[in-house]
A and B are shown apart, each in its own frame.
Chain A
Amino acid sequence: MVASRLPDAVQGPGPVDVVLNVNGATHVVRIEPRVSLLDCLRDHMNLTGAKKGCNQGACGACTVWVDKRRVVACLTLAIACEGRDITTIEGMAVDGSLHPMQKAFLSEDAFQCGYCTPGQIMSAVALLAEGHAGSDAEIGEWMSGNICRCAAYPNIRTAIRDVRDGVGGVRKDATR
């Protein structure tokens, strides 16, 4: 939960202590309030899975979950996430075993350079939980916030269908 700070206290513009819950672990970072969740993860927590493609909400490479909802971390302030649960690609594997969606991306070759992949996977798992993977058209529309410059789209859709349909016995439950 949030540190013992008065809710209305003004923080910044200089560095302040921010307490964040990321993938179930508590981190304390000293950052300026202007620091985005993306920069905080990458530069202050060494969690470099989420990628910076555009830094203006236009590509989805930085997709993470805040309270289990997929968001773009580049337009989210880290300090605004105090008291919320953040999940990143680093939190998807359990006990060293990849999430079914990660496995499906590997087996279906759903990437080339891999830069968009962490964002694609965070979006794809949320997509199934939201129930927006009914058809290829629906998958396309609800995954449009994740751009892939390598255009691995057909394979990404196949990976999502695999997990949706339980191909290879993978679990369907999503955001666990």
Chain B
Amino acid sequence: MRPVSYSRVSDVATAIATVAADPTSAYLAGGTTKIDMLRIYAEPSQRLVDINSLPIDHIEVQPDGAVRIGGLARMNDVALAPVVVDRFPVLSEALLLGASAQLRNMASMGGNMMQRVRCSYFRDAEARCNKREPGTGCGAIGGVNRGHAVLGTSPHCIATHPSDAAVALVALDAMIHVQNAAGHHAIAADDFFLLPGDTPEREHPLNHGDLITAIEVPPLAAARNSLYLKVRDRESYEFALASAACALTVEDGTVAEVRLALGGVATKPWRARAAEHLLRGAPATRETFARAAAAELAGAVPQPMNAFKVELAQRTIIRALETLTARGAVS
């Protein structure tokens, strides 16, 4: 484990000023990513600023029906909040299907957005990795890449984005609220996660010291009929091989509203816009769903070990849409 220094802060302004002033410093929330990274030498020594006492852990309903989730709200608390279970089942399920009960008690929503990739070359400080050490090459391309991405890849990095919650948030058009010394701004979840391109080391549009204070999920009637379908090597406590966050409204056999995002197959939480476009206004049938799924995966760039994900992702999409169609017809 890298040596660290440590301090606690109890107000947001001090937290931001402290981290912004020191380029070697970083926020410590649940620590489930940060301590892991420091222990395996994937990140350099840091001055950790413990933000767990900051009053940004509430889950509140806004006057317009949006739900505002504090950056320090814990995964389990968000997943079990009645308003989330009721209005955004897709988010509740994505959270509950992630990690374990213990980790979800620790892990914060802000930290979840900032978690690092699970690529085994990134996690091995001896291996080549453009994300950890820009310019050294990518160990996964031509290496062991069964878990890696087929969408949004670049010749420099093919690591899968590991978050489940972020997939639901991208589907729901959530806004990530950020504060820094200059003030406050909000970033659409879809824009918050960057494609690797030529700069895989750059994962977010945040500057050093920017603090995620809240995540706001706008009201969406269709989200009441929503789900998160996660396919993986074991039934629980495992990252996705393919997942779908989906909300659907069917009227008179036709898709009236649909939201779809994919996890486990892309370098960022993947909003399936091509599929959504084909689905809207089309008959809610298996044929339509298969066509939409195929269109979304048309641009896939598989590696030797993960080619199965192209088919798996399509089946996942189809099953999610069929499940929601059946459910919507009942209620």
Contact = CB atoms under 8 A, between A and B. Distances in A.
Given A34-B4, A145-B100, A10 B47 contact: yes
Contacts of B235: 140, 144
Contacts of A77: 4, 6, 28, 31, 35, 48
A11 B28 CA distance: 14
Given A10-B47, A33-B5, A72-B103, A144 B237 contact: yes
A58 B167 CA distance: 22
A80 interface: yes
Contact of B106 (A72, A127, A140, A142): A72
B200 to A, nearest CB: 22
Nearest to B10: A7
A144 B100 contact: yes
A7 to B, nearest CB: 5
A7 B101 contact: no
A92 interface: no
B143 to A, nearest CB: 21
Interface string B277-303: 000000000000000000000000000
A164 interface: no
Given A80-B50, A144-B237, A75 B3 contact: no
B8 to A, nearest CB: 5
Given A57-B36, A77-B31, A63 B2 contact: no
A143 B1 CA distance: 28
Interface string A113-135: 00000000001001100101000
Given A12-B6, A80-B6, A72 B102 contact: yes
A95 interface: no
Given A36-B35, A76-B106, 5 more contacts: A72-B103, A75-B36, A76-B31, A80-B8, A145-B100
Interface of B: 1-10, 14, 18, 28, 30-32, 35-36, 38-40, 45, 47-48, 50, 52, 99-103, 105-106, 235-237
19 contacts: A7-B10, A8-B7, A8-B8, A11-B5, A33-B4, A33-B6, A34-B1, A34-B4, A57-B32, A57-B103, A60-B100, A70-B105, A71-B106, A72-B32, A75-B35, A80-B6, A123-B101, A123-B102, A143-B101
